[in-house]
Structure 1
Amino acid sequence: MPEPPLGESRLTDLDDRVKVAGIRLDALTEAQVVDEVMTAIERGRGGHVVTPNVDICRAVSRNPSLRALVDGADLAVADGMPLVWTARLLGSPLPARVTGADLIWSLSGAAAARGLPIYLVGGRPGVADAARDALVARHPALVVAGVDAPPYGFDTCPEAVARVRARLVAARPSLVFVGLGFPRQDRLITTLRDDLPGAWFVGCGSAIAFAAGSVRRAPAWMGDHGLEWLFRLVSEPKRLARRYLVDDLPFALRLLATSLLRHRAEDPRRRDAMRAAR
């Protein structure tokens, strides 16, 4: 990622983040993320939001370069209740789950209120256009500076990336939602940030498809109880069965079990320390 201007640091200090599953997360609510991003834009400073979930944590645990990608973001928030539960067990609670699918709406609303243009990158042909229409329908003052649905694999072709860059730079948005999936979206963001140093980029996964209505999102109660993965599995079993059942679910269960055992082991130590302090 580009270095901050001289005399400034990244938006958050890595040491202030909560470490969960080998990555560091900011203890922020959705409203606080929106406030941080809007304040930074008003000050002329851009940034990068990453929203790790269990699948991202699993990938990061096996690849140091992916961990560096998450650590390099200006804001990293937990998109997954297992991460919130784990942080709670470890004694460093996160205030809430913050998803890209929610941020696309709340950040767009804040941008509309301030007259800040946004830009959408990702989705199949027509999906980003439908997402644009849905966002404007909810926030009529919203300015969508452009939408782009580059073909799958474009990010491996320098000429195709250059075309995406040229369109983005010409539009000059303040807020860019990139929905290509991790790590593709976040790698692309790191290559584009120098061209728009005052813009904020959000790696938002399926948020553009959710906003468009082309992919159904789980009811809020399922997300709040850590069951959104089950809803998506039932909706897209062929595409998601291996990811959720073979890869992510065992990883999440091991993560929670390890954290629970650590929590139970540390409880007696806390009690002994409290008695000794009396």
Structure 2
Amino acid sequence: MNEVEMLNVRFDNVDMQECIKVIDYMINDRTKFKYVVTPNVDHVMKVNNDPSFKKIYKEADLILVDGQPLVWLSKLVGKPLKEKVSGSDLFPRLCEHAASKEYKVFFLGGLEGVADKAAENLKQQFKNLNVVGTYCPPFGFENDENENNKIIKKILAANPDILFVGVGAPKQETWIYNNRDKYKVPVSLGVGASFDFIAGTIKRSPKWMQKCCLEWFYRFCKEPKRLFRRYFIEDSIFIVIAIKEIYRSIVKRC
């Protein structure tokens, strides 16, 4: 599989169709319990500032680019990524694939009833989709040993082929990394707000905004208090490291 190294992150250079094929292979391989990450700009900044998060990304089995700015940057530095494969786009496509292959899926995350509603909507869309479990964990579950054990037992009992975790980054990736060998699912991936998008509790930005790199702005307009710090303080340094990446690529080519 072709890889692109950029901004201290290794990206697997696959399009959506290739991604589905790789995950299908991972499900059937069963040599270890694998996980998928989908870095966007915010994740890249966390990788560059948090050694523990960087380790989680380094050891991931599949790293997909979830952000149009990263795709554009890859082209500017002469390492073009094929296309954005976001967790929110991959989630329904992978559920469709699971339905066609009779794979079992489990949804962990979201507010009360959201994962159930998402499962209901997806089963209407993909008639053979087998959702073997949904669970809304309480706030702070990742630090509660009893709650963690409860979640792991639920997943073990359901025995899914794919686990979707929607509790936001970096919590979802960290929880998967720390617990995947306990709940023993072939493939796990974090999907952020995808349950809400499918359930209809949160409206996703229009397609034109996604293509024009404005999905972040749409989300900011919906939740300005929660997202102001992330987008305008924590992620603002991205412009600086992107310019440095472009400069390094120019120097190498010269």
| Range of TM-score over shorter length | over 0.9
Deviations 1:55-106 (A, max 9, x none): 1111111111111101111001111111112211221111011111011101
Shift of 1:212: 1.3
> How far did 1:53 drift?
0.8
Does 2:238 match 1:252?
Answer: yes
Alignment of 1:226 with 2:199, yes or no, is no
Contact 2:162 2:187 in 1 (8 A): yes
**Structural mapping, 1:112-151, within 5 Å:** 112-151=99-138
2:72 to 85, 100, 115: 85
Give 2:230's match in structure 1, choosing from 243, 255, 277: 243
Matched position secondary structure for 1:205: coil
Aligned match of 1:58: 45
Letter in 2 for 1:53: N
**2:5 alignment partner, one of 16, 19, 22:** 19
Distance 2:55 2:38 in 1: 14
- What are the ranges of 5 or more consecutive residues in structure 2 without an aligned counterpart? none
Given residue 189 of structure 2, which amino acid in structure 1 is its aligned partner? V
1:157 equivalent to 2:144? Answer yes
Cα distance change, pair 255–220 in 1 and its aligned pair in 2 (3 A): farther
Amino acid at match of 1:256: A
- From 18, 33, 42, give the equivalent of 2:19: 33
C-alpha distance in 2 between matches for 1:266 and 1:24: 19
Q: Number of paired residues? A: 253
Query: What letter corresponds to residue 203 of structure 2 in structure 1?
Result: R
SS in 1 for 2:132: strand
Measured after TM superposition, the shift of residue 266 of structure 1 is: 4.9
Mapped contact 1:85–1:256 kept (Cα < 8 A): no
Write out per-residue CA displacement over residues 116-154 of structure 1, whole angstroms, 9 at most, x where no aligned residue.
Answer: 110000011111111111111111110000001011111
Question: 2:195 matched to which residue of 1?
Answer: 208
* Matching residue of 2:82: 95
In 2, distance between residues paired with 1:161 and 1:136?
Answer: 28
Which residue of structure 1 lines up, in the alignment, with residue 29 of structure 2? 43
Please report how far the alpha carbon of residue 195 of structure 1 lies from its aligned counterpart in structure 2 after TM superposition.
Answer: 3.5
Larger Rg: 1
Q: Is the 8 A contact 1:135 1:211 kept in 2?
A: yes
Identity of aligned residues (%): 33
Deviation at 1:43, TM superposition (A): 3.2
d(CA) in 2 for partners of 1:225 and 1:265?
A: 29
Equivalent residue number for residue 275 of structure 1: none
Note if contact 1:86-1:255 (Cα within 8 Å) is conserved in structure 2: no
TM-score under structure 1 length normalisation: 0.86
SS in 1 for 2:227: helix
Equivalent position of 1:3 in the other structure: none
Please tell me the residue identity of whatever aligns with 2:244. T
Q: Distance in 2 between matches of 1:48 and 1:127?
A: 23
Distance 1:81 1:186 in 2: 21
Relative to the length of structure 2, the TM-score reads: 0.94
RMSD: 1.6
